[in-house]
């Protein structure tokens, strides 16, 4: 079994760079969104602990960085104190803020992808035909951003602790909150999380890629009717 960096490098060094950029950037903004939402709820913990920063090391920590180096994926952490939240469902809004940012990043990347492909082929401005390597590099960048952030959003919304989806669900259903807080449930919860993490990734990435590609075809048919991608060496 080879290191993930070697595998991606052989596919495309550009893809490797995009992967590193989007993983680190998306996790950082995801955690900052939790912090911003917590501050709006009246909880100053993110500021008090020094986590309202763009420094990814602060959010990912040593374990997150080690995991990223080993597995190519990582996690972050934003300390908050739900007891200081103003609203009844403050925990749900703070938890939802992270996946919401991932959705925004996915949509922005998707829009850029849909505009870039025909524009770079000179569909709207015939004289503007960018070199193949520039075309492909930006295409990979936008596609990676869209797919990866869709996966991060979907994964974090799963109702399994410690993912955001469990906090959202627990905020509205006290019986679920009691269930995941039960000491006897901690073992099965940990097993469920590990199984989802190991075996759910391929499914989520496949579905996200299909959604982006099908969505791109649909959007291009609207904004660039008659467009046919030029063959690129």
The pLDDT tens digits of the residues spanning 149-172 come to: 999 999 999 999 999 999 999 999
What is the rounded CA–CA span in Å between residue 51 and residue 74?
Answer: 17
Predicted confidence at residue 141, as pLDDT, reads: 98
Sequence length of the chain is 233
Structure tokens at 85: 């939240």
Q: pLDDT (tens digit, 9 = 90+) per residue, 46-80?
A: 999 999 999 999 999 988 889 899 888 888 999 99
CB 145 within 8 A of CB 111: no
CB 5 within 8 A of CB 72: yes
What is residue 193's predicted lDDT score, i.e. its pLDDT?
83
pLDDT score, position 195:
84
| pLDDT at position 89 | 93
The pLDDT of residue 196 is above 80: yes
181 pLDDT higher than 90: no
Note every long-range contact of 166-171, with CB atoms under 8 Å and residues 24 or more positions apart, other chains counting. 167/91, 167/92, 167/94, 167/95, 168/91, 168/92, 168/95, 168/96, 170/91, 171/89, 171/91, 171/92, 171/95
pLDDT one-digit tens code per residue, 84-133: 999 999 999 999 999 999 999 999 999 999 999 999 988 888 878 789 99
Q: pTM for the whole thing?
A: 0.93
- State residue 104's pLDDT score: 98
Average pLDDT, the chain: 92
Cβ(34)–Cβ(156) under 8 Å? no
Q: Higher confidence at residue 183 or residue 104?
A: 104
Q: Give the separation between CA 39 and CA 96, rounded to whole angstroms.
A: 14
26-53: per-residue pLDDT in tens? Answer: 999 999 999 999 999 999 999 999 999 9
């Amino acid at each position: 079994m080879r290191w993930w960096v070697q595998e991606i490098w052989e596919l495309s060094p550009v893809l490797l760079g995009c992967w590193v950029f989007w993983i680190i950037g998306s996790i950082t903004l995801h955690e900052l969104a939790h912090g911003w939402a917590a501050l709006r709820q009246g909880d100053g913990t993110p500021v008090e602990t020094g986590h309202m920063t763009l420094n990814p090391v602060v959010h990912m920590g040593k374990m997150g960085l080690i995991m990223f180096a080993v597995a190519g994926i990582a996690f972050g952490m934003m300390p908050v104190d739900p007891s200081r939240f103003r609203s009844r469902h403050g925990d749900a809004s703070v938890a939802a803020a992270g996946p919401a940012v991932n959705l925004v990043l996915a949509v922005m990347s998707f829009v850029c992808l849909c505009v870039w492909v025909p524009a770079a082929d000179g569909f709207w401005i015939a004289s503007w035909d960018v070199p193949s390597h520039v075309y492909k590099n930006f295409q990979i960048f936008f596609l990676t951003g869209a797919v990866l952030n869709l996966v991060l959003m979907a994964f974090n919304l799963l109702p399994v602790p410690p993912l955001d989806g469990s906090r959202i669900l627990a905020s509205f259903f006290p019986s679920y909150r009691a269930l995941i807080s039960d000491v006897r449930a901690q073992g099965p919860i940990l097993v469920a999380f590990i199984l989802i993490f190991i075996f759910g990734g391929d499914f989520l990435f496949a579905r996200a890629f299909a959604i982006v590609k099908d969505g791109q075809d649909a959007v291009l048919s609207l904004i660039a009717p008659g467009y046919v991608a030029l063959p690129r060496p």
